[in-house]
Structure 1
Amino acid sequence: MGNKPIALDPKVKLDVSGQDVSVTGPKGTLKYQLPEGITLKQDGDVLHVLREREDDKELKMKHGLVRSLLNAMIVGTSTGFKQELELFGVGYRAQLAGQKLTLSLGYSNPIEYTVPANVKVSMADQTHISLESIDKQLVGQVAATIRRFRTPDAYHGKGVRYAGEQITLKEGKKVGA
Structure 2
Amino acid sequence: MSRVGKMPVAVPQGVDVAINAEQISVKGSLGTLVQSVNRLVTVKNEGGKLTFTPADESVEANAMSGTMRALVANMVNGVSKGFERKLNLVGVGYRAQAQGQKLNLQIGFSHPVVKDMPTGIKVECPTQTEIVIKGADRQVVGQIAAEVRAIRPPEPYKGKGIRYSDEKVSLKETKKK
* Aligned residue number for residue 110 of structure 2: 108
CA contact (8 A) 2:40 2:64 kept: no
CA separation in 2, counterparts of 1:141 and 1:85? 13
| Equivalent residues in 2 for 1:30-41, closer than 5 Å | 30-41=33-44
- 1:43-82 equivalence runs, <5 A: 43-55=46-58, 57-82=59-84
CA–CA distance in structure 1, aligned partners of residues 118 and 13 of structure 2: 29
- Which amino acid counterpart does residue 44 of structure 1 have in structure 2? G
Q: How does 1:163-174 map to 2 (within 5 A)?
A: 163-174=165-176
SS at the partner of 2:6? coil
- Structure 1 residue identity aligned to 2:20: S
How many residues get paired? 174
Task: Tell me the TM-score normalized by structure 1.
Answer: 0.91
1:9 aligned residue? 12
- The residue identity in structure 2 corresponding to 1:106 is G
Displacement after TM superposition at 1:123 (Å): 0.8
Residue 172 of structure 1 and its aligned partner are, at CA, apart by: 1.5
Q: Deviations over 1:60-109 (max 9, x none)?
A: 33222211110000000111111111100111112222212121111222
Q: TM-score normalized by structure 2?
A: 0.91
Percent identity over paired residues: 40
Aligned Cα root-mean-square deviation (Å)? 1.4
